[in-house]
Amino acid sequence: MSDGGWSTRELADLAGTTVNTIRHYHRLGLLDEPERRTNGYKEYGVRHLVRLLRIRRLAELGVPLSQIGAVADGADSAPDALRRLDAELAAGIERLQKARAAIAVILRDGAPADTPPGFESVASRLSEADSSIIHIYTQLYDEDAMADLRRMVEADDDVSADIDAMPPDADEATRQRLAERLAPTLARNLAAYPWLTDPGKHLSKSESVAQETFVKAIVELYNPAQLDVLARASGLANEQLRTTEEGTTDD
């Protein structure tokens, strides 16, 4: 340090920052340019150091650089800027807490890190296609619907695993057998969760967007044999429901 003041590097060292940061603050107009010595080098004084430390303090609090000038200068808008920042920080903390809770569940259940949220405990039952479709569902359905879908997975039997293992050219007998095994599960789900046939109130997107997305995902994620089994099982499940309803009506 010279008797007259500090160089840019000396100022940066004192403030715990870098020369490039100081230059950036100059370009933004947050820190005044100092006078230059006779040799042409900048000469910073105490006011520059204090201003720089104030800027650094506000930056550490998370105040955007675009607002630091007004906040540091005590503008009338400063309290509102700090309140907005506090709300953003609170939201950030909440996101981090949720992320930590999710990580704890993933580690507890030994689930893949990219398991759809809420499905960690049943991750071992999900095929790659099932996991993919559930990820898509999180963007189409509300939390109540997703909770119901998780319960469906929890109550699922081994038939899903057999369907997941089907080759695209599975024979007719295999397709029919698996469809007949899957149908009772589908029928139970349709009876327990009526919204499956009329999901409107549980959708977070429009019905047309949800339907288009669903069809595209199903066609791409499942092979022809699997799609055939799903279609057959759906038809059988609806027949079973109609038979049950007619029997109830007759009684």
pLDDT digits (tens, 9 = 90+) for 200-241: 999 999 999 999 999 999 999 999 999 999 999 999 999 998
Give every residue of the chain whose pLDDT is below 70, as ranges: 1-4, 247-251
Q: Domain 8-73: state its class.
A: mainly alpha
Q: Which tens digit of pLDDT belongs to each residue from 36-55?
A: 887 778 899 999 999 999 99
Element (H, E) at 72: helix 65-72
CB 210 within 8 A of CB 145: no
Residue 19's DSSP bridge partners are none
Q: Give pLDDT, residue 1.
A: 45
Distance CA(209)–CA(59), nearest Å, equals 42
| SS3 at position 235 | helix
Angle at Cα 194 formed by Cα 192 and Cα 196, nearest 5°?
110
Location of each CATH 1.10.1660.10 domain in the chain? 8-73
Angle at Cα 127 formed by Cα 122 and Cα 133, nearest 5°?
90
H-helix segments, the chain = 8-15, 19-28, 46-61, 65-72, 78-109, 128-137, 143-155, 159-164, 172-192, 207-221, 224-250
